[in-house]
Structure 1
């Protein structure tokens, strides 16, 4: 499964901007503005997002590699779509708060 780091290094500038915006949704515990994002949490949430997409949105008749590849692409497309929208929240953070995970 692709990591945020790999997607950032392999992607065009639009993907890099989207990943930076997603990372900014996961501030370090200090909570002070201007700090580096908590990339470990952002990475886990990106992986969880891919897993949710694989489970819920990708047809089961595809082979395993195709399912993972499509889910990775869909997760990146979601980040690209949300990046220019101000004030959005990480869907995994929202889900965790909703279910107290």
Structure 2
């Protein structure tokens, strides 16, 4: 999970600073929550309830972000969607 957080944070550098700048953790966290919400969609919680559904969506988001991080030109999917709008 730590690798996913660091990789996703790196995709959200603070604006107007050099390439070695600290990530914009507030935006990264907000976008991570958006990715989880996209994965959950209109899911109806099974017997396990909302907590287990959210946990599965979080795990899926982590796996997705780790997989995307392997791509050379990877960008945050939420940033990309916002830039297209």
Q: Same fold (TM over 0.5)?
A: yes
Structure with the greater relative contact order (CA < 8 A, sep ≥ 6): 1 or 2? 2
TM-score, length of structure 2 as denominator length: 0.84
Q: Which runs of 5+ in 1 are unaligned?
A: 1-14
CA RMSD of aligned residues (A): 1.6
Is the counterpart of residue 73 in structure 1 residue 48 in structure 2? no
Q: Following TM superposition, where does structure 1 have runs of at least 4 consecutive aligned residues deviating by more than 3 angstroms?
A: none
State the distance in 2 between where 1:93 and 1:27 align.
Answer: 12
Q: Which runs of 5+ in 2 are unaligned?
A: none
Matches within 5 A, 1:1-80: 15-55=1-41, 59-62=43-46, 63-80=49-66
Post-superposition CA distance 1:54-83 (Å, at most 9, x none): 115xx4252312221111111011112122
Q: Paired residues, what number?
A: 83
